[in-house]
């Protein structure tokens, strides 16, 4: 059960007797989206634990507390109490943080908690929403961006894929070859079909179906919405090689409700946490390799790889599709966005053209034909 004490506010419109129960009811509204529910639970739990340290309830949360809480998210102290590696929630060594949150992650946390408090006000559990008192609320809590920035630019992605695509040595063990093949499939799948991490871990073999000679990927995403995405030839090639390594036929059949991504036994599926760690570890290994190859010349790219998360792969996929000329309506279908303006954040063509035209405007260079001499008066 989440931490939380008895509220000081009046009777509510929900069957709860503690903050923990009230938050649990809010989380229940997201039961159809397990990944969203898990992310929201994490942020709510951090807030309740922080309040619990101060012997406070949600009803006592004031505007000035929000600044202190945001600072705490950026530097959770004492570190030994709050920060640690990923562990099962029941493990006594479990900690709420893997490390300090970045500015964008802190903003996302505040966005989620603003929604929590708004729901609790409507439920009668709280009598006010302190987030509404933030003067710079629009800057802090409007999580919409004018353009997607957390993605790998094409040259860096191409280097990463070449590195991933290099087969292990002939002396490599069977385990090493399996891990290489799986990692290659994970990154290829992420780049070619732009899935969310939960959609990747939940993918089954029979989600890939052929209709009238064309392959499609059937996916159930956020909100339980089911979509069908065209599967490009490169994905079918990766899938065929992966299946062959598992001792299966190259193409999946309609009666294979088995996991796409599998553990070392070749049978059990790979969960979200395992997949997250796999991708993050790969980014770190790639960063170290690039740093050894190019040193300080690749400082920016190395830093990007070390910051990258699994969701960067989705952003990278959609951004590169947009740059390749995929029409906005099809890009929105692949992304499974309900609003076109959400998808439009991946369109960088106008920014590139603006930059190109702006480059025509510059300073005169001495010695260049047509440049005015110093002191010469303009006509």
- The pLDDT profile of the chain, 379 residues, written as one tens digit per residue, is 455 444 444 446 888 999 999 999 999 998 877 778 888 999 999 999 999 999 999 999 999 899 999 999 999 999 999 999 888 888 889 999 988 988 878 888 998 999 999 999 999 999 999 988 876 554 455 544 444 467 898 899 999 999 999 999 999 999 999 999 999 999 999 999 989 888 899 999 999 999 988 999 998 876 667 888 889 899 999 999 999 999 999 999 999 999 999 999 989 999 888 999 999 999 999 999 999 988 888 888 999 999 898 989 988 988 888 887 777 677 777 767 555 454 455 555 445 554 555 456 555 655 544 444 444 444 3
Tell me how far apart the alpha carbons of residues 184 and 284 are, in angstroms, rounded to a whole number. 15
222, 129: one domain: no
24, 160: one domain: no
What integer pLDDT is reported at residue 12 of this predicted model?
61
- CATH no. for residue 136? 1.10.150.130
Asked if residue 8 is part of any domain, the answer here is no
Residue pair 49/4 in contact (Cβ under 8 Å)? The answer is no
Asked if residue 146 is part of any domain, the answer here is no
Q: In terms of DSSP H, where are the helices of the chain? A: 19-28, 34-53, 63-74, 79-82, 103-122, 137-141, 154-165, 174-193, 197-201, 233-245, 272-294, 299-307, 310-323, 328-335, 340-343, 349-358
Sequence-distant (6+) residues with CB within 8 A of 157 are 191, 316, 320
192, 45: one domain: no
310-323 helix and 154-165 helix, angle to the nearest 10 degrees:
120
Give the number of C-alpha atoms closer than 13 A to the C-alpha of residue 98, restricted to the C-beta side: 11
169, 301: one domain: yes
Asked if residue 7 is part of any domain, the answer here is no
Sequence-distant (6+) residues with CB within 8 A of 193 are 217, 229, 231, 235, 317, 334
What integer pLDDT is reported at residue 208 of this predicted model?
96
Residue pair 164/190 in contact (Cβ under 8 Å)? The answer is no
- CA torsion 147→150→156→158, rounded to 10°? -80
Q: Which of 375, 349, 190, 378 is nearest to 276 (CA)?
A: 190
- DSSP designation for 211: E
Q: Residue 225 phi/psi, 5° resolution?
A: -80, 130
Q: Is the peptide bond before 78 cis (omega within 30 degrees of 0)?
A: yes
270, 134: one domain: no
Asked if residue 148 is part of any domain, the answer here is no
Asked if residue 159 is part of any domain, the answer here is yes
233, 318: one domain: yes
What integer pLDDT is reported at residue 330 of this predicted model?
75
135, 183: one domain: no
Asked if residue 14 is part of any domain, the answer here is no
User: Helix (H, G, I), strand (E, B), or coil: what is residue 30?
Assistant: coil
Number of domains in the chain: 2
Residue pair 101/109 in contact (Cβ under 8 Å)? The answer is yes
Predicted TM-score (pTM) of the model is 0.61
Residue pair 49/96 in contact (Cβ under 8 Å)? The answer is yes
Last residue of a domain, one of 90, 107, 141: 141
Asked if residue 113 is part of any domain, the answer here is yes
**323-327 contacts, C-beta under 8 A, 24 or more apart:** 323/154, 323/348, 323/349
Could you tell me the two tokens for 358? Answer: 């702006």
Tell me how crowded residue 224 is: count the other CB atoms within 10 A of its CB: 10
Last residue of a domain, one of 141, 169, 203: 141
In sequence order, the β-bridge partners of residue 226 are: 220
Last residue of a domain, one of 84, 117, 141: 141
205, 67: one domain: no
136, 37: one domain: yes
- CATH no. for residue 226? 1.10.443.10
Asked if residue 217 is part of any domain, the answer here is yes
210, 236: one domain: yes
83, 127: one domain: yes
Tell me how far apart the alpha carbons of residues 19 and 310 are, in angstroms, rounded to a whole number. 32
Place of tokens 């099809």: 330
118, 162: one domain: no
Q: Which of 144, 260, 284 is nearest to 198 (CA)?
A: 260
Domain extent, residue 110, equals: 19-141
């Amino acid at each position: 059960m989440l931490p939380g004490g008895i509220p000081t506010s009046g009777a509510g419109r929900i069957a709860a007797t503690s903050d923990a129960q009230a938050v649990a009811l809010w989380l229940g509204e997201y039961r159809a989206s397990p990944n969203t529910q898990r992310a929201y639970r994490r942020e709510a739990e951090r807030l309740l634990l922080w309040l619990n340290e101060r012997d406070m309830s949600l009803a006592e949360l004031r505007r000035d507390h929000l600044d202190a809480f945001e600072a705490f998210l950026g530097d959770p102290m004492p570190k030994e109490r709050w920060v640690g590696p990923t562990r099962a929630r029941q493990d006594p060594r479990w900690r709420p943080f893997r490390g300090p949150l970045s500015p964008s992650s802190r903003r996302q946390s505040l966005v989620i908690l603003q929604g929590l408090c708004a729901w609790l006000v409507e439920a009668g559990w709280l009598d006010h929403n302190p987030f509404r008192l933030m003067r710079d609320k629009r800057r802090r809590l409007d999580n919409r961006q004018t353009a997607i920035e957390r993605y790998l630019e094409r040259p860096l992605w191409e280097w990463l894929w070449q590195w991933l695509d290099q087969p292990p040595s002939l002396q490599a063990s069977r385990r090493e070859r399996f891990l290489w093949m799986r990692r290659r499939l994970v990154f290829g799948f992420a780049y070619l079909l732009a899935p969310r991490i939960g959609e990747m871990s939940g993918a089954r073999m029979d989600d890939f179906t052929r209709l009238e000679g064309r392959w499609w990927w059937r996916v159930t995403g956020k909100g339980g919405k089911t979509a069908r995405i065209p599967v490009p030839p490169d994905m079918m090639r990766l899938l065929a090689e992966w299946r062959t390594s598992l001792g299966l036929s190259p193409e999946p059949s309609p009666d294979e409700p088995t996991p796409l991504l599998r553990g070392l036994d070749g049978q059990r599926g790979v969960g979200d946490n395992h997949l997250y760690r796999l991708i993050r570890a790969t980014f770190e290994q790639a960063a170290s390799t690039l740093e050894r190859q190019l040193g300080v010349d690749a400082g920016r790219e190395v830093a990007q790889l070390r910051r990258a998360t699994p969701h960067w792969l989705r952003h990278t996929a959609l951004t590169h599709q947009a740059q390749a000329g995929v029409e906005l309506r099809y890009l929105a279908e692949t992304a499974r966005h309900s609003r076109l303006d959400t998808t439009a954040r991946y369109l960088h063509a106008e920014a590139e053209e603006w930059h190109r035209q702006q480059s025509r405007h510059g300073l005169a260079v001495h010695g260049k034909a047509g440049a005015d001499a110093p002191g010469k008066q303009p006509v």
